[in-house]
Structure 1
Amino acid sequence: MANRNSMFRLAILLVFVLFTEAAAWSNSTSAKTFDRGCIEKEREALLKFKKGLIDLSGDRLSSWVGDDCCNWVGVECSNHTGHVLSLQLSAADYNVESLKLRGTLDPSLLNLTHLNYLDLSYNFFHGTPIPKFIGSLKNLRTLNFYLASFTGLVPSTLGNLSNLEYLDLSTNPSNSKLLGVSDLNWVSSLSSLQYLSLSGVDLSNAITSWPQVVDMLPTLGLLDLSNCELDNFPQSNPFVNTTSLYFLELSYNNFQSPIPEWFFNITTLTNLGLKKCELSGSISGFPRANLPNLWYLDLSSNKLGGNLQDSLGYLKNLEFLLLSDNSIVGPLPTFIGNLSLLGVLDLSLNMINGIIPESLGKPANLIAISLKNNAISGPIPLNFGHEMTKMVFLELSGNLLNGSIPPSMTEVKELIFLDLSSNYLSGAIPSKWHRLKLLTYMDLSNNSFSGGIPSSICSMPSLQWLKLGNYNLSAELSLSLQDCTGLSYLDLGGNRFFGTIRPIVENLFNMSYIGLRSNMFIGDIPEIFCQFPHLHIFDLAHNNLSGPIPRCLANLKALKYTVTFNRSAYTDLFQPYLEHLEMFVKGRQDEYIKIIPMLHLIDLSSNYLTGEIPEEITNLSALVSLNLSWNQLSGKIPGNINNLQQLESLDLSGNHFTGPIPPSMSSMTLLSHLRLSYNNLSGPIPTANQFQTFDDPSIYEGNPYLCGPPLTTSCSSDLKDPQYKDEGVDDEDRLSEMLWFYFSMTVGFVVGFWVVCGTLMIKRSWRRAYFRFVEDTTDKLVVVAVACCRRMVAQLFRR
C-alpha cells in the first residue's frame, strides 16, 4: 500500500515537472520571438510612412523611435511572426486641431503585407485624395477613414479588397462636396463586406444606382448613405439577395417620393433612418408588413401626412418612434399604450389634435415624450406622473393645454427635462418639487399661472435652467430663489415682479444667463453681479432701475474671453434646446440657432440709468451685443470703444450723449447693427469701413448737430452746436485759429488806439473840440435827466 502511494506521488511529481518544463519552453520560445522585435523591412516602411505625415503637436508619433516598432503607439504586431497587423492612428480622442495628423500617405505601406487593420479616422488630410495604392493592401479587413477629411474621388481600386469586412469613408456633412464617386460598381466586388458607411460622400454622379450595388452584397448588415445627394428611390423592390441587412440609414437625401412599400418587407431590419428626405404621401397608408425586429424608426422632417390612428401599431418591438416635423393630423393614437417596449416618442411639429389619452403613459419603458407645437388641447391627465415612473424627458410646449399642472407631475422622480411652456395652463404652480432630485431643465413660461414662485423649486439640487417668463406673475421675490444655488440659467422676463434685485440673486454665483427684462424692479444694478464668473448674458431691460452702470462689470470674466464650446459635453437629448433660444438682439426678438454659451450680451435698455458709460466696459472684448438705449445716460461715447472687436450690435439711442462719434468705431468690422438716434451727438459721421453700410438716416436722427452722409446736412454748412461748436476740429486747426484770433485782436487794438488817442495827443485843435463835445453832451444829458425826474414827481402828487 505504501509502495502504491509512493508510486502515485512519484507519478504526480513527474507530470508536474513535465508541465513546468513545457511551460518554460513555451514561454522561452514566445519570448525569443517577441525579443526579435518587428521585421526590419516593415520598420523602415513605417518610418518612411511617418515622414509623409505632419504631426504639429510633435507628440502623436513621438514613440516611433528605436528598433522595436511593435512597441510604437498605434502599431500592433503578431506575437508569433512579428509582422505588423494593425495600424491605429485615429484622432477620435483628440479635440485639439493641432493633434490631428496631416500630410500624405506614403506607398511604403505596401511593404506591410500582413496589414489587416488601418484606422486614420478623425484626422485632417484636407486636400489629399485617398491613394489608389490602398486597393493593393489585399489582407485588409478594416479600413476606417471616418471624418479624415480626404478630398477628391474615391478610387475604384478599393474594389480589389476582397477580404474587406468594414469600410467607413464618411465625411463631415458640411464638407459633403469634398469627397465623391463617379462609379459604385467597385463596391459590388467587396463580397465580404458587412459594414459600409459613405455618409457625406457625394453619390449624385454615380453611374450605377445604389440599390443595385447593395443587392450584390449578401453579407452586408449595416449601410449608411446619409447626406449623399441621392435622389433615386425605386418603388419596386431591388433587394432580392439581401438577407442580413439590419441597419439602413438614408437620412438627409432628396428622394421626393413616397416611401416604397418594399421597405417594410425587409424582415431583418432593426434600424431605419429616413429623416429629412423630402418623402411624401400618407403615413396612414403604410402596409401592415412583417417587421418583427424593427426597434428604431425615424421619419422626421419630411412631408408625410395622414392619420396615425391605424398606422404603425403592428411594430410591437418599436423602442424609438420619431415622426416630428411632418403634416400628421388627427388625435394621438391609442395604440401607443400597447407598444410595451417604446422608450422615445417624438411627434412634435405636426398638426395632431385632441386630448392626451391616459394610455400615453402606460409603456413601462417610456423615458421621453417631444409633443411640442401641435394642437393638443384639454388638461394634462391627473395620473400622468403616477404612471410615468421612468420618464426622463417631457416636452408638451406650444399646444392648447389648459387647466392646472397635476400634483402627480412632482412625483416623476427620474425626470430631468420638463417643458410645459406656451400653453394655457393656469392656477398656482405646484409646491412640492422636493422629490425631483434629478430635474435639470424646467420651462413653464408663456402660460397663465397666478401667484408667486414656490420656494420648493429651489429644493431640486440639480436644477440649472429655470424659465418662468411671460405669464404675468406678480410678487416680490426677495426669498423665493435664494436657495437655487445651482442655477446657471434664469429667465423671469415678462412678468410683474417688483422690489430690488439684489436679494433675488444673492447666492446665485453660478449664473451664466440672467433674464429679468420687462418687470417692475427698482433700485440700482447691484455690484454683486460683477462677482459672477460665468455670466455672459445679462438682460435687465424694461424695468425701473436707476443709478449708474457699475464700473465693476468690466470684471465679468465670461465677457472677456471667447471660449470654444464643447458640444460633446451635452447629450443629444438637450441639443435642440441649447441651440434654440429667443433673445432680443439687433433691435428684434430672434430665435438663435447658435449654442447659448457662444452668445455674449448686455441689455440694460429702457430704464432710468444715469451717468456716463464706464470706460472699463470696453475691456469686455468678447461682448457681441450691447444695448443701453432709452436711459438718461450722458457724457461722451468712450473713444476706445473700438476695443469691443467682437461687437455685432450697439444701441445707444434715446440718451443724452454728447460730442463726436469716435472715429475709432470704423475699425469695428463685425458691427452690423448700430443705433445712435435721439442724443446730442455732433460733428461728422465717420465714413470708413463699416460705416459705409450704415446708410439708413434713422440710425442718426434726433442729433441736430451731426452732419454728413447718410444725413442731408452737409458738414461744410454753417452748422454750429452752441456748446460743442468746435467738436470735430483737430488740435492743429484749433491752435491756428486761436493764433489768428489773438493776432487780429492785437493789431486792431494798436491801430484803434493810435488812430483816436494818438491824433488827440498830437493835434491841439482836435483835442479842444473833442473835450468841448464831451462837455456839451454831458450837460445835455443832465438837463434831460432832471426834467424827467420832475415830471415823474408831478404825476405822483396829482394822484
Structure 2
Amino acid sequence: CRRRFAAGRPGPATATTYKWASCRPNNSLHSNSNHGRTFSGGTVPESFSVRSRNSSNSSGAGAAFCRLLSLQILDLSNNQLTGELPDCWWNLQALQFMDLSNNSFSGQIPAAEASHNCSLESLHLAGNDFTGTFPRVLDHCDSLTTLDIGNNKFFGAIPPWIGTRVPSLRILSLRSNNFTGEIPSKLSRLSKLQLLDLANNRLTGPIPVAFGNMASMRHPEIVSSQASALDGSNYQDRIDIIWKGQELIFQRTIRLLTGIDLSGNMLSRCIPEELTRLEGLRFLNLSRNHLSCGIPKDIGSLRNLESLDLSCNELYGNIPQSISILSGLSTFNISNNHLSGKIPTGSQMQTLTDPSIYRNNSGLCGFPLEDCPNTSPASDEKTGEGEDQWLYYCVTAGVVFGFWLWFGLLFSVETWRCALLFSVDGMQSKIMQKVSHIDQFISKSSNDQYM
C-alpha cells in the first residue's frame, strides 16, 4: 500500500496528532506529498485532502490545520464537514489551492490580520452555508485566479474593488447567493476575466455597458497561460458551471472556457450593443430577467458563440438576421418574450428544430413554427395605399394653402389687385368681341338661307 497521512481523533484533553499509516481506510485524511516539516510525530504535508465518496465524514476541520505552515494545497471537498472556519486559517501563508466546496460549513468567512499575505491562487467555497458579505479577506489577493463562492448565503452588494484589487481573476462565480444592488462596472477592468457567473441572485439595474471592454472575452487568445504553483501537482483547477443546460465540471479545458451567465436576476433595460464586441464568448445566458428592447442587431458578431439563452425577458421586435451566421450555435432559447416577425433562416438555424425554444412569442412565425401568413403582397399593397393617401393629403393641403395665400395677397396688395382686375376686364372684352363676331356670322348665314 502507498503511505497515507491519517489523523487521529483528539481526546478530551489531548491535542490532535498526525501519524503515518500503512493503508488509508475509507474516508480518512490523506496527503499527496511527503515533503514538509516535522510536526507531532509526523510530517507536515504540502498537500492535504479529505476525499469521501460516501460522504460519511462529519467531523469538523478544526484549528489544527493552522499549524500546517507549509501547506500549499488543501482539499476538503465533498464531505459532511460542519462548523465555522477558525480565524487562524489565514496564517497559512503558503496556501495556494483551497477547496472546501460541498460541505456544511457555516458562519462568516473570518477576517485576516492587517499583515496577511494572500498567496491563494484558487479558492472554492461553493455548496456550503457560509453567510455574511463578500469576504473582505480576498482584498489584495494579487495571485487569485479562480474564485467560486456559489451556492451559499452571502448577501449585500458586490464590491467594486474586485475589479482593481484582485487583478489576476480569470474565473469569478458568485451564483446562487443573495447578492443585491447593481453589477459594478469596474468588473470590466479584470483584463484576464474569461468566466463571469452571477446567476440566481437579486441583482438589479442594467447590464454595464463597460462589459464590452473585457479584454479576455474580446480576444480569448490573450488569456494568461503563466505557470502556476499547481502545475506538476496532482491537482488541477476546476469550475462547476451550467453549460448548455447541464451542470458540468470543467478542468483540463478550463482555459478554453469563455462566457457570461447573469440569469435569474432582476436586471432591466436594454441588452447593451457593446456586448457584441465580446467575440470570444462561447456562451451567454441572460435569461429570467426583466430585459427589454430588442436583441442587438449585431449579435452575429459573437462568432464563437455556442449557447445563447435570452428566454423569460421582455424583449420585443424581430430576431436579427445576423444570428443566422453563428455557425457554432447549438443551444438557443428566446422563449417567453414579445418577439415578432419571421424566424431567420440559415444553415445553422435550420438545425434548431425544437419549437419550444420560440414558445410564448405570439408574433413569431416560420420554421420550426407555423409558416408565416402569405400577407407580404397585401402588406406591400397596404403600405403603398397608405403612402398614396399621404401623398394626396399633402398635395391637397398644398393646393389649398397656396390658393389662399395667393388670394390673400391679391386683396392685400393694391397694385396686384388692380392689375388682376384690369387683366380680367381685358380678357372679358376680348371674349365679348369674339362672341359678337360669331353672332354676326350666324345671323348672316341665316339670312342667306331664306334668300
Q: TM-score, normalised by structure 2?
A: 0.75
> How far did 1:481 drift?
3.1
Corresponding residue number in structure 1 for 2:184: 526
Corresponding residue number in structure 2 for 1:155: none
Q: Percent identity?
A: 35
CA contact (8 A) 1:501 1:525 kept: yes
CA contact (8 A) 1:386 1:408 kept: no
> How far did 1:733 drift?
9.9
**Counterparts in 2 of 1:203-222, with a 5 A limit?**
none
Q: Which amino acid aligns with 2:26?
A: N
Corresponding residue number in structure 1 for 2:106: 450
Corresponding residue number in structure 1 for 2:365: 707
Distance 1:733 1:557 in 2: 49
Q: TM-score, normalised by structure 1?
A: 0.43
Residues 38-60 of structure 1: per-residue CA shift (max 9 Å, x gap): xxxxxxxxxxxxxxxxxxxxxxx
Counterpart among 362, 384, 391 of residue 739 in structure 1: 384
> How far did 1:456 drift?
2.6
Counterpart among 93, 114, 130 of residue 473 in structure 1: 130
Q: Which has the higher contact order (CA 8 A, sep 6+)?
A: 2
- The alignment status of 1:577 with 2:242, answered yes or no, reads no
- The alignment status of 1:353 with 2:10, answered yes or no, reads no
Distance 2:197 2:281 in 1: 13
Counterpart among 418, 430, 437 of residue 74 in structure 2: 418
Distance 1:337 1:478 in 2: 37
Q: Which amino acid aligns with 1:715?
A: C
Distance 1:543 1:634 in 2: 19
Corresponding residue number in structure 2 for 1:436: 92
> How far did 1:568 drift?
8.7
Residues 652-673 of structure 1: per-residue CA shift (max 9 Å, x gap): 0000111111111111001111
> How far did 1:472 drift?
1.6
> How far did 1:452 drift?
0.4
Corresponding residue number in structure 2 for 1:57: none
Distance 1:536 1:388 in 2: 42
Distance 2:168 2:161 in 1: 14
Residues 160-197 of structure 1: per-residue CA shift (max 9 Å, x gap): xxxxxxxxxxxxxxxxxxxxxxxxxxxxxxxxxxxxxx
> How far did 1:484 drift?
3.1
Higher strand share: 2
SS of 1:456's equivalent? coil
Q: Which amino acid aligns with 1:426?
A: T
Aligned length, in residue pairs: 376
> How far did 1:687 drift?
2.3
> How far did 1:319 drift?
8.3
> How far did 1:406 drift?
2.1
Counterpart among 154, 163, 176 of residue 497 in structure 1: 154
Corresponding residue number in structure 2 for 1:680: 338
> How far did 1:637 drift?
0.6
- The alignment status of 1:535 with 2:208, answered yes or no, reads no
CA contact (8 A) 2:218 2:281 kept: yes
Distance 1:590 1:613 in 2: 27
SS of 2:136's equivalent? coil
Counterpart among 324, 334, 337 of residue 21 in structure 2: 337
> How far did 1:421 drift?
1.1
Distance 1:639 1:660 in 2: 9
Corresponding residue number in structure 2 for 1:552: 210
SS of 2:276's equivalent? helix
Instruction: Specify whether residues 434 and 541 from structure 1 end up closer, same or farther in structure 2 by C-alpha distance, changes over 3 A only.
Output: closer
Q: Which amino acid aligns with 2:43?
A: T
Distance 1:703 1:409 in 2: 56
Distance 2:66 2:141 in 1: 17
- The alignment status of 1:366 with 2:23, answered yes or no, reads no
Residues 527-558 of structure 1: per-residue CA shift (max 9 Å, x gap): 11011111111111111111111000111101
Q: Which amino acid aligns with 1:337?
A: A
Instruction: Specify whether residues 438 and 749 from structure 1 end up closer, same or farther in structure 2 by C-alpha distance, changes over 3 A only.
Output: closer
Distance 2:98 2:27 in 1: 25
CA contact (8 A) 1:563 1:598 kept: no
Structure 2 stretches lacking a partner, 5+ long = 6-18, 396-451
Corresponding residue number in structure 2 for 1:293: none
Q: Which amino acid aligns with 1:515?
A: S
> How far did 1:736 drift?
6.6
**Counterparts in 2 of 1:540-689, with a 5 A limit?**
540-563=198-221, 569-570=227-228, 573-574=232-233, 576-578=235-237, 580-689=238-347
SS of 2:132's equivalent? coil
Instruction: Specify whether residues 733 and 512 from structure 1 end up closer, same or farther in structure 2 by C-alpha distance, changes over 3 A only.
Output: farther
Distance 2:290 2:61 in 1: 43
Instruction: Specify whether residues 657 and 446 from structure 1 end up closer, same or farther in structure 2 by C-alpha distance, changes over 3 A only.
Output: same
> How far did 1:582 drift?
1.6
> How far did 1:504 drift?
6.5
Distance 1:641 1:387 in 2: 63
> How far did 1:453 drift?
0.4
> How far did 1:437 drift?
1.8
Instruction: Specify whether residues 747 and 498 from structure 1 end up closer, same or farther in structure 2 by C-alpha distance, changes over 3 A only.
Output: closer
> How far did 1:742 drift?
3.9
Corresponding residue number in structure 2 for 1:401: 57
CA contact (8 A) 2:148 2:239 kept: no
Instruction: Specify whether residues 703 and 408 from structure 1 end up closer, same or farther in structure 2 by C-alpha distance, changes over 3 A only.
Output: same
Larger Rg: 1
> How far did 1:638 drift?
0.8
CA contact (8 A) 1:477 1:498 kept: yes
Q: Which amino acid aligns with 1:353?
A: N
> How far did 1:598 drift?
1.4
CA contact (8 A) 1:436 1:460 kept: no
> How far did 1:403 drift?
1.9
Distance 1:544 1:530 in 2: 20
**Counterparts in 2 of 1:209-358, with a 5 A limit?**
312=1, 337=21, 353=26, 355=28
Distance 1:390 1:565 in 2: 35
